[in-house]
Structure 1
Amino acid sequence: MRKYITLLIAAAALVIGSTAYAGIAVIVHPSSGIDTLSADDIARIFLGKTKKFPNGQQAIPINQNEGSPIREKFNRAILKKTPSQYKAYWSRLVFTGKGTPPKDSGTDADVKALVAANPNVIGYVDSSVVDSSVKVVFELP
């Protein structure tokens, strides 16, 4: 019995550990014409510094819900901002009339569905949910 409990705890730790360290995939529609983007390209789009992909096509960034661990990791790694810095950044732009923040669009499944439905949308999801309905243009480990 004790061996069974130890094995069960070890298995649970592996599952939890693999989920906690999953990568983040930045995704676009497969027909968008975008094959790869740099972290700087992505940051410029999500910070409202450009409204276009490098190929000139309109870019519509969408976020996961505020408080999501994936969003927090994305903001820190790509945008170089903590949640409060990100909120302050957009509050300042909105107040001065210089920008509109990306829409919060829900979970991995919600973001993936929106990206799969529109060639101009760019989003990010847990890399484990990527399938052929979207194309990965950048990946964080």
Structure 2
Amino acid sequence: MFRYKKIHTIIVAAGLVLLSPCVSAEAVVIVSARSAATALTEEQASDIFLGKNSALPGGGAATPVDQADGSPLRDQFYTKVSSKSAAQMKAYWAKQIFTGKGQAPKEAGDSAAVKAAVAGNPNLIGYIDRSAVDATVKVLLTVK
């Protein structure tokens, strides 16, 4: 009995350690450091990533770039910014595409790939883990 409890405790502790990076990731919405944009609200970010708006506040195009489908950061971003789960987002874009009202944002992969794409094009907007931010991009919104 004692051995079972000890093994169970070790397994649970290891699981928590493995899950902690996913839980503690902080998403930030970014644009190129060359962009004139300085700030963004969650509602504005939601509108851009849901295809309801294609401009940044104060002017400038805003073409959204997504993390890879199934990414924990992607799920966290949409849950917090648009109050939609991953399944709801898939249904939303399926309807938009079917009715001809829009196209889902292009997927760039992980935070490094999104950052590289956004840094190279002032018309792109994306979201990455805060730890990936450097001087090539500018943070417009911290997703809480």
The TM-score, its normalising length taken from structure 2, stands at 0.85
Does residue 31 of the first structure (1) align with residue 34 of the second (2)?
Answer: yes
Alpha-carbon distance, 1:136 to partner: 0.5
Alpha-carbon distance, 1:18 to partner: 4.9
Please give the per-residue CA displacement for 1:6-54, whole angstroms capped at 9, x wherever unaligned.
xxx89x94x8635531211111011211111000010000000011112
Q: How many residues align?
A: 132
The SS at the match of 1:138 is strand
The SS at the match of 1:94 is helix
Letter in 1 for 2:52: K
Please give the per-residue CA displacement for 1:38-91, whole angstroms capped at 9, x wherever unaligned.
000100000000111122211110100000000000010001101111011111
The SS at the match of 1:114 is helix
Please give the per-residue CA displacement for 1:98-120, whole angstroms capped at 9, x wherever unaligned.
10110111011100000100001
Letter in 1 for 2:121: N
Contact 2:22 2:72 in 1 (8 A): no
- Root-mean-square deviation (CA, aligned residues, Å) is 1.9
Corresponding residue number in structure 1 for 2:121: 118
Moved runs in structure 1, 4+ residues, more than 2 A? 15-20
The TM-score, its normalising length taken from structure 1, stands at 0.86
Letter in 2 for 1:61: P
Letter in 2 for 1:56: G
